[in-house]
Amino acid sequence: MLAGFQVVDITPPLGVHLAGHFNARPSNEVHDPLTAYAMVLDDGNTKVALVGTDLVGLPAELAGQARALVSQQTGIGQDAVMIWATHTHAGPELGDLGWYPEAPQYNALLPKLLAGCVAGATQKMQETTARVASGSEQRISCNRNYRMLGGDTGTNPGVGNPGVSAFDGPIDPDVGVLLLDQEGRSRAALVNFACHLDVIGSGNYRYSADYPYYMREMLGDVYGADFVAMFANGACGNLNHINVFGNKRQGGYDHARMMGRTLAGEVMKVDHSARPVELKPLWYRSEKIELGLREFTDNEIAQFRRDIEETEATASQMSSANFARGRALRALKIVESGITSEEVEVQVLGLGALAIVGIPGEYFVEFGLQIKEQSPAEATFVIELANGSIGYIPTAAALEQGGYEGSSARFRPDAGQRLADAALQMLTANL
């Protein structure tokens, strides 16, 4: 097996707005560079490329442009290229939610940077052996939905809130680790863990990769400055770092540092027990799924129009009203387009004993757990926000309950299960 790795800086210019919150945040400093990192594998018959980016999300159009350029420059098939966003909320805004300016020049450059990253990796191919391990970390992620004493569901209802009864869902504690060794030493790792990258918070105006930055920093200190530590977020649409039952504020760069170093420690711990695996044969599959968009009543549509009117004056300020504004803009875009469905991609990469599933949205943890439990592969990583960014994909129950994610979702209640079924069908058919 041959493998090559490459890391490139994809930090935008200062002034580009940061994504992921309901207030305008023009970037004013670089805390740590945003990066893209590529891993190219070649078993002699097939090549695949895995590309991670320090971005909140990567629209399918931009991902498609990058995959096409990768294919042109390297000969790797477009369906054999998986590009994901880590979901850092300290990266650039790439879309237009109605109050954030876009960055068209950066958007035009980004696919070229990603393709160049993969092309660079293909120039560094060496004989490689692989090891896979599964660690466990239960202390740094929480389900962010809670059952309230009144019977409702609350999303991040506040640390110490006396009205909270219990967590309203599971977490995924798995720390999936693929270690790649070259010339007798560990050369790279792909780390798969499920937790939102929103630790630094809405008051931050600096570019940052959030907690994976500190994970990479510590692993680089241990394995060498040229060690490539790739992070891929698992299904964490309803997971984050805040434990409402805790006794202190949780967030900021100090908390991100603790989380990143905790993950790095788990990677180093399982290094000693990681089992050797053959990554060949390599294979890849991709399927387009037609998902139905949500339908809205006349009363809901009227309320959306009122929400937009009422928040016009405060659209650039930090306000809970901006959530209502964003939800209304997304909903009216669906209504006014007349479109009732949208085609999205599910991708599966087979690396011998390891299977990697790519889902193009913020996938609820329940689906990630289901895919891993039912997968026929010896080990399975589920990566969200891969090859697209279609928003939250909650369970049908969460959609009915409302809450933050349920109110934000664009698709009908069956969307999440249909994506899981498609992934499992591809896995079953090829293993």
Pairwise CA distance, residues 244 & 96, whole Å: 32
pLDDT for the residue 315: 55
Q: Return the bridge partners of 92, or none.
A: 18
Average pLDDT estimate for 182-187 = 96
The first and second tokens of residue 82, run together, are 């998986």
- Give per-residue pLDDT as tens, 168-177: 899 999 999 9
Average pLDDT estimate for 109-132 = 98
Q: Return the bridge partners of 79, or none.
A: none
pLDDT for the residue 321: 59
Which positions ≥6 away from 200 have C-beta within 8 Å?
89, 90, 208, 210, 251, 252, 253, 256
Percent of the chain's residues with pLDDT above 70:
96
Average pLDDT estimate for 38-53 = 98
Residue 99: is its pLDDT beyond 60?
Answer: no
Contact 318, 23 (CB under 8 A): yes
- Give per-residue pLDDT as tens, 87-96: 999 999 886 5
pLDDT for the residue 320: 54
Which positions ≥6 away from 174 have C-beta within 8 Å?
134, 135, 136, 192, 193, 194, 234, 372
Contact 266, 229 (CB under 8 A): no
Torsion of CA 317, 323, 324, 328, to 10 degrees: 110
Contact 388, 344 (CB under 8 A): yes
User: For the whole model, what pTM was predicted?
Assistant: 0.95
* CA neighbor of 39 nearest in space, from 49, 47, 24: 49
| Residue 134 DSSP SS3 | strand
Q: C-alpha angle with apex 334: 332 to 335, nearest 5 degrees?
A: 60
Contact 308, 332 (CB under 8 A): yes
Split at pLDDT 50, 70, 90, the class of 113 is very high
Average pLDDT estimate for 312-326 = 62
For the stretch 319-322, contacts whose Cβ atoms lie closer than 8 Å and that sit 24 or more positions apart, written own/partner, are 319/22, 319/23, 320/22, 322/22, 322/23, 322/99
Residue 30: is its pLDDT beyond 90?
Answer: yes
Domain spans in the chain, listed from the N-terminal domain onward = 2-285+343-430, 296-339
Instruction: Give the burial string for 292-325 (b: 16+ CB within 10 Å, else e).
Output: ebbeeeeeeeeebeebbeebeeebeeeeebbbbb
Check the CA dihedral 320-322-324-327 and report its sign.
Answer: negative
Residue 78: is its pLDDT beyond 60?
Answer: yes
Residue 307: is its pLDDT beyond 90?
Answer: no
Q: Which amino acid type is present at position 225?
A: A
The per-residue pLDDT of the chain, averaged, comes to 93
Pairwise CA distance, residues 291 & 413, whole Å: 10
| Listed range (82-86, 102-106, 290-294, 310-314) with the worst mean pLDDT | 310-314
Split at pLDDT 50, 70, 90, the class of 295 is confident
Distances (CA, A) of 58 to 14, 20, 139, 277, 383: 19, 13, 29, 31, 13
Please tell me which residue, 396 or 102, carries the higher pLDDT value.
396
Split at pLDDT 50, 70, 90, the class of 100 is low
pLDDT for the residue 220: 98
Residue 137: is its pLDDT beyond 90?
Answer: yes
Pairwise CA distance, residues 79 & 279, whole Å: 18
The first and second tokens of residue 359, run together, are 């889902």
Between strands 392-393 and 362-363, the pairing is parallel
| Residue 38 DSSP SS3 | strand
Residue 268: is its pLDDT beyond 70?
Answer: yes
Split at pLDDT 50, 70, 90, the class of 97 is very low
Average pLDDT estimate for 246-268 = 95
Contact 159, 242 (CB under 8 A): yes
* CA neighbor of 128 nearest in space, from 187, 52, 190: 187
- The rounded Cα 361 to chain-centroid distance in angstroms is 7
Average pLDDT estimate for 20-26 = 86
pLDDT for the residue 319: 53
Pairwise CA distance, residues 152 & 157, whole Å: 11
Distances (CA, A) of 43 to 69, 127, 128, 429: 22, 10, 10, 21
Average pLDDT estimate for 350-365 = 97
Contact 411, 419 (CB under 8 A): no
| Listed range (120-129, 154-163, 277-286) with the worst mean pLDDT | 154-163
**Which residue is listed with tokens 């971005």?**
55
**Which residue is listed with tokens 């891929």?**
232
| Listed range (7-11, 106-110, 264-268) with the worst mean pLDDT | 106-110
* CA neighbor of 35 nearest in space, from 81, 82, 91: 91
Q: Return the bridge partners of 36, or none.
A: 8, 53
